[in-house]
Structure formats: C-alpha cells, structure tokens
Chain A
C-alpha cells in the first residue's frame, strides 16, 4: 500500500510543526523519517495514522489512491507502535495482541479459536511465544517493544508506523532489534514508516531516508545517496561526523584553511566547506598534494579507528579518522606538526539574497 502525502501543513497555536510537506512512500518500502527534535517527523507520522489532523484545507493523504483524510483513526487500518509502547498495562501479552481483533464489530469479529491461532502465530513471529500470559511490567523493554509490534500487526495493517521504536532501549538491545526489524520487514513486506533521530539507525535499516528539519523535508533518498551526496548543508552536517570550514569558491577550485583544492563548483562566492574525518589524510611531510599545516591536539585510539584532533594553521580545529595501522606508521604525538590533505570536500556556496 503506497502512501502519498501532499502539501501537509500543521500548526499548534503559533508553532508551525509542518510546512507544506509532500512525501511519497512506495508500496512495500521501509522508510525512515530522520531529523532532530522539533523537525516535525513525529507529527507527520501521527498525521498519517490519524492521531493528528492537518490544518483544515491543507493537503491530502492517500493510501494507494484512496483519500483517507476523512477516515477516523480507527478506520484507516494502520498499525502504530508508540515510543513508550503504550501496552495495556492490566492485560496479559496475549490480550494485548488480541485487542484489535476483539474490538471489531460483531459481524467482522473472528471466533475465539481464530483469535487464538492468529495471536499464537504472531507471538511466534516476534519470538515471544511462551510469554503470552505475562503482564507487561514483567517484560524487558525489548520484549515490550515486540509485543507492541505484534499488537499492531494483528489487525493486518496496510501501513505500519513506528515512533522512535528503539529510543527507550539499551544500545545493545537497540542494535539487535534494528536488524531484527529489517528482517521482519523483508518477510512481511508491509509499507512501513519509522521515525528516528538516530542516523545510524536510519542509514542501517531503511530503504529510503527522509531527512527533515524545522517542519520541512531537506532531502529524500536511499541511505547511500543522502550520506554521500547530501543536497543541503543541514543533511551534510546531520549525517555522520563532519568538519566545517568557511572558504571561498571560484570556478574549478575552492580555498579554505590555507589550502586550495580542485572542485567542480559551478558557482562562485563565499561558501561552507565540509570534510568528513574519514576523507582526510595526514602526512608528516608535504608530498605535493594540496594540504595545510596543523598541530596534533589529541590522539584517541580506543575504538575501531583512531580519532585525531588537530588545530589547523588557520585557527580552526578539526577531527580526522585514521586506521590504527596508519596511525602507528605516522607515530603521531601531541604537539606534533603534520600536513592535512583533504581528499573529498563538499562545498555549499552561500545563496545570495535575491
């Protein structure tokens, strides 16, 4: 079931949460809404679910050509997984999952036997069979999340919506559940949208990432695209670590931090220059490639790679990331002088006021 949102605006009092947002989620895809707090991503999710209404007269919501804006929240057949699970605290796991089936109008309600079968298969799917009699407060966070998911899936939703599903969990549990969710999605193939502020999560799990900021969409694309080919400064700096410099762009080159590198910039003018820590090389002696001098401030080698803090000759501090072998070969010390060679830069020329 594809989702098509056109021109959605939502204000709360004087605060504009969403500003003319349009979005298409193709059938069967797992889409991440990624952004900082206040970007509007949760509001957008809740509007799809029907838990919020867009401002009157603004925009439309369609599930595969069917206009659902007029449909009440219970009639849209969406599954919603809340950030804090919202399990029914006084019901067992079984009753929680069965809830959506039990409240159907008499005519559409499955028999007790059918409910039992369905709930059983769902609990097996989320690997919680054997816990059907437990109460929510006797479950771990990860288990509760899976119950919430099973509950949402019980009504056979056309669309699955998840609001920061792993936000309240420990880092390790989060990682496991992330991968598990991806595998589940591949098996079920329900169109899914999840909200997160964790970019690792979005990039690892989603088919498509929607980067949002301050009520608008900055970029939509597959993870590779938004990470390596960011279209705005915000996307660049939000995803991954990045060093930011101020410089000047001319045709064919850009200068910053006492270095000028080749760059196919079509525009000229003052610009922000972004360099990722992994795209920076460190040499102890100049070797001809364009670079600038810097002093080593700190070497942090605990972890999968080495993080080196540097103070550029021109006064900016920056972060470089090296492999342990490379760092060992260079024998970097605090206070040492090195040459920094930027390998890949991304330039955003300041937009001139029209």
Chain B
C-alpha cells in the first residue's frame, strides 16, 4: 500500500522534534556552510582559478589524491584479509583484535600523528630498519600514505565484515558439490558477492583520507611542493589571513567530496539492487 504524507500520524511529537532538529541543523551546519558559499561568491573567477591552480596547490592535489588512493588500495587488500580472518577463523586474541580494529576511529588524530612519526622516523622502531634500506618513510610521501592507511583501516574491515558474515554458506557448499575447487569457489562465488562491500569500504576510506589533517601533518614534514597535503594548505592560507584563498581550495575539496559521496551512494544503491535481484 502506498502511503503519502505523514504516515503514523497518530504518533505525537512530529512538529516539535522536526522543528528542534531543523533549528539545530540550521544553526550549527547550514548557516556556517552558507558562509562558505557566500564567501565563494565574492571571489572573482581569476582569483579563484589562480589560487586553485597554482603550482603548490596542484602539487598538493597530486600528493593528497595519490597517497589517499594508495592507502585505500592497501586497505582494500589487507582489510579484506583481516575481515576474512575475523569472520571465518577462531584464534587466541581474536576478540581483542576485533575490538582494536576501531582504534583509528577512537584515537585522536593528533595522537596517531605523533605516534606514527615517532615510529617511522630515522631512529624509530620501524624506521630504523627501513632507513638503511634507503626507504625514507617519515617526511616523505610514503609516510603520508602510511598515515592515511592507518586512518582508513577500520572503514574497509567494518564494511566487509557484515557482508562476509551474511554470505550463505550454502552457496559455497553448492559450488563445492558441483565440483569447484576452493580457489574457484572463492573467485567465482565469494568475491562477486562481497565486491560491492569492498568497493564501498574502499571508497569510504578514500574519502576520509582525502580530507585527513591531524594524522598526516606530523609525519609529512609539510615541505611545499613535496609533502604538503591539501588540507594543510587551507590551514596555511588561514594563518596568513588569506580567507579567499582558503575558501577557494576548500571549494575544490568539497566538490571532490560531493562527487565521491554521490559515487558511494550510487554504489550502495547498486549493491542493494544486486542483492534484491539475487533474492
């Protein structure tokens, strides 16, 4: 039965709660965001373009985008492995590890920033082994990617875990009874089923990495043209009271996030469609 208008109108409190929510949302979110758009409107096109396409800013796009993509890719691969072991296997310490996966969510970004820097700098726990091999992690794009991997880790794991848990064991048994090897079953039955979750998780990790600030600014060294991320540039412009410049770069980032958000929603809708088709 299609119902339009207010369903469940017998329940009270609609006006009050919606009003409260909208008021709060306007004050905290919409009004401040509109300040951003109004500021943008005051920029001339040349101002805007010269800021967002200056060499330094372009270099930051490259670094931010590249490192985020690399981090998301690493997280997709290893996040899948982690999710698989957590869902399918039992081993000592599993519950502890499962809880720890959320650490990057819970830990303040500044803390992860300085911790990662300490570890990967030349005399750090891991850095001391990598330096002699010529692999410079701290104060390099690699360090940025490492920090972004840390940040994005829970996204893939937590998106893939429920998808794996929902898999029907019977589908795998059916494949086995039809003569498929375990590897074939994995490639042809399991991976296609969780592919939407993998892609969604990867996109979420990617989106988060694009905007990340705190965990990256310590390990990156913030060298212009080399290890500056875009969000840092916004900060730098603000410190120089160049509101217009900061706004311009922010708009570019917002557009990218917006496109990504649409993509992710589209992916989730698509995976929902596929699930419906199967049923």
A/B touching: CB–CB < 8 A: yes
A interface with B by C-beta (< 8 Å): 12-15, 17, 38, 50-53, 73
**Partner of A52 from B2, B5, B10 at Cβ < 8 Å:** B10
Residues of A contacting B4 in the complex (Cβ-Cβ under 8 angstroms): 12-13
Asked whether B3 lies within 8 Å of A12 as measured between CB atoms, the reply is yes
Asked whether A12 lies within 8 Å of B10 as measured between CB atoms, the reply is no
Min distance, Cβ B121 to any Cβ of chain A, angstroms: 53
Interface residues of B in 11-26 (CB under 8 A from A): none
**Partner of B2 from A14, A38, A50, A73 at Cβ < 8 Å:** A14
Interface size on B, residues (CB 8 A): 7
Asked whether B2 lies within 8 Å of A15 as measured between CB atoms, the reply is yes
Asked whether B3 lies within 8 Å of A13 as measured between CB atoms, the reply is yes
Which residue on A lies nearest to B12, using beta carbons?
Answer: A72
Residues of B contacting A13 in the complex (Cβ-Cβ under 8 angstroms): 2-5
Residue B1 at the chain A interface, CB threshold 8 Å: yes
Residues of B contacting A52 in the complex (Cβ-Cβ under 8 angstroms): 10
Min distance, Cβ B43 to any Cβ of chain A, angstroms: 46
Give me the 8 closest cross-chain CB pairs, A-B, nearest first. A13-B4, A12-B3, A13-B2, A51-B10, A73-B10, A12-B1, A15-B1, A15-B2
The docked-state distance in angstroms from the alpha carbon of A59 to that of B275 is 45
The docked-state distance in angstroms from the alpha carbon of A52 to that of B9 is 8
Could you write out 5 A-B pairs with CB less than 8 Å apart?
A12-B1, A13-B2, A13-B4, A38-B1, A73-B10
Which residue on B lies nearest to A46, using beta carbons?
Answer: B10
Min distance, Cβ A37 to any Cβ of chain B, angstroms: 10
Min distance, Cβ B92 to any Cβ of chain A, angstroms: 33
Known: A12-B2, A17-B1, A73-B10; 15 extra A-B contacts, CB below 8 A, are: A12-B1, A12-B3, A12-B4, A13-B2, A13-B3, A13-B4, A13-B5, A14-B2, A15-B1, A15-B2, A38-B1, A50-B10, A51-B10, A52-B10, A53-B9
The docked-state distance in angstroms from the alpha carbon of A15 to that of B3 is 8
The docked-state distance in angstroms from the alpha carbon of A13 to that of B1 is 9
The docked-state distance in angstroms from the alpha carbon of A50 to that of B2 is 20
Residues of B contacting A12 in the complex (Cβ-Cβ under 8 angstroms): 1-4
Give the total number of A-B pairs whose CB atoms are below 8 A apart: 18
Residues of A contacting B10 in the complex (Cβ-Cβ under 8 angstroms): 50-52, 73
Interface of A: prevailing SS:
loop
Min distance, Cβ A281 to any Cβ of chain B, angstroms: 45
Residues of B contacting A17 in the complex (Cβ-Cβ under 8 angstroms): 1
The docked-state distance in angstroms from the alpha carbon of A51 to that of B10 is 6
Residues of B contacting A14 in the complex (Cβ-Cβ under 8 angstroms): 2
The docked-state distance in angstroms from the alpha carbon of A52 to that of B11 is 11
Residues of B contacting A15 in the complex (Cβ-Cβ under 8 angstroms): 1-2
The docked-state distance in angstroms from the alpha carbon of A56 to that of B74 is 61
Min distance, Cβ B11 to any Cβ of chain A, angstroms: 10
Min distance, Cβ A16 to any Cβ of chain B, angstroms: 11
Which residue on B lies nearest to A50, using beta carbons?
Answer: B10
Min distance, Cβ A291 to any Cβ of chain B, angstroms: 47
Min distance, Cβ B10 to any Cβ of chain A, angstroms: 5
The docked-state distance in angstroms from the alpha carbon of A128 to that of B2 is 39
Residues of B contacting A51 in the complex (Cβ-Cβ under 8 angstroms): 10
Residues of B contacting A73 in the complex (Cβ-Cβ under 8 angstroms): 10
Min distance, Cβ B184 to any Cβ of chain A, angstroms: 42
The docked-state distance in angstroms from the alpha carbon of A15 to that of B5 is 13
Min distance, Cβ A195 to any Cβ of chain B, angstroms: 15
Min distance, Cβ B12 to any Cβ of chain A, angstroms: 9
The docked-state distance in angstroms from the alpha carbon of A53 to that of B10 is 9
Residues of A contacting B2 in the complex (Cβ-Cβ under 8 angstroms): 12-15
Min distance, Cβ B5 to any Cβ of chain A, angstroms: 8
Chain B 175-214, CB-CB to A under 8 Å as 1, else 0, gives 0000000000000000000000000000000000000000
The docked-state distance in angstroms from the alpha carbon of A15 to that of B1 is 7
Residues of A contacting B5 in the complex (Cβ-Cβ under 8 angstroms): 13
The docked-state distance in angstroms from the alpha carbon of A53 to that of B7 is 11
The docked-state distance in angstroms from the alpha carbon of A73 to that of B8 is 12
Residues of A contacting B9 in the complex (Cβ-Cβ under 8 angstroms): 53
Which residue on A lies nearest to B7, using beta carbons?
Answer: A12
The docked-state distance in angstroms from the alpha carbon of A137 to that of B9 is 29
Residues of A contacting B3 in the complex (Cβ-Cβ under 8 angstroms): 12-13
The docked-state distance in angstroms from the alpha carbon of A50 to that of B10 is 8
Which residue on B lies nearest to A12, using beta carbons?
Answer: B3
The docked-state distance in angstroms from the alpha carbon of A38 to that of B2 is 12
Min distance, Cβ B71 to any Cβ of chain A, angstroms: 43
Min distance, Cβ A103 to any Cβ of chain B, angstroms: 14
Min distance, Cβ A259 to any Cβ of chain B, angstroms: 44
Min distance, Cβ B153 to any Cβ of chain A, angstroms: 36
Which residue on B lies nearest to A38, using beta carbons?
Answer: B1
Which residue on A lies nearest to B3, using beta carbons?
Answer: A12
The docked-state distance in angstroms from the alpha carbon of A15 to that of B2 is 7
Which residue on B lies nearest to A13, using beta carbons?
Answer: B4
Min distance, Cβ B14 to any Cβ of chain A, angstroms: 15
Min distance, Cβ A215 to any Cβ of chain B, angstroms: 12
Min distance, Cβ B172 to any Cβ of chain A, angstroms: 32
Min distance, Cβ A55 to any Cβ of chain B, angstroms: 12
Min distance, Cβ B6 to any Cβ of chain A, angstroms: 11
